[in-house]
Amino acid sequence: MLRTGGAPSASTYGQSQLLNHVSSGGAPCPQHPDELVSYYCFSCHCPPICAECVIHGEHHGHEVQTIRRAHPQLLQEFETLLHVASQKGEDLHLQENKLEAKKRDLADQTRNLKLQVASHFEDLRQRLDQREREMQQKIDDLGLRGQAGVERCVRLF
């Protein structure tokens, strides 16, 4: 079935290869070396094929067009795909920038949390040091009172 138009589909056969076949006046068919290629199969998106492949070969019933007719459609398809790829590249770049910003924010948050934890522990250390000094002083006071009591007892004897 010959293709007469329709929506572009992704082509796996390169534009430069197709242009080479169009400009060179044809190349031998991979399946039928004695025939020159003159058709492009939109069903398979393979390298150009000969009339024998279209009529009796594996491309019988596929959507095909002559290379000259297929070329403008494939060129338009290529330009559309290139535009879509460019837009996706820009979208990816924007997403990359957003992710990098989030990464920096996360690093800043981590750094700030570490500073807060260090500050809290420093405060706790200061409180513990103060509490230790207070307890040491109480122990000293109790020791002095105990010694004074013992001395009183010793004097009484």
- Establish if 107 belongs to a structural domain: no
- Establish if 148 belongs to a structural domain: no
Q: What is the pLDDT of residue 20?
A: 56
**Helix 15-23 / helix 67-156 crossing angle, nearest 10 deg:** 160
pLDDT in tens, 2-59: 444 443 344 444 555 555 555 455 799 999 999 999 999 999 999 999 999 999 999 9
- Establish if 140 belongs to a structural domain: no
- Establish if 39 belongs to a structural domain: yes
Q: What is the CATH number of the domain that holds 47?
A: 3.30.160.60
Predicted TM-score (pTM) above 0.85: no
Find the domain containing 50 and state its range. 15-81
- Establish if 35 belongs to a structural domain: yes
- Establish if 94 belongs to a structural domain: no
pLDDT in tens, 75-90: 999 999 999 999 999 9
User: Which residues does 8 contact at the CB level (< 8 Å), separation at least 6?
Assistant: 73, 74, 76, 77, 80, 81
Please give the tally of structural domains in the chain: 1
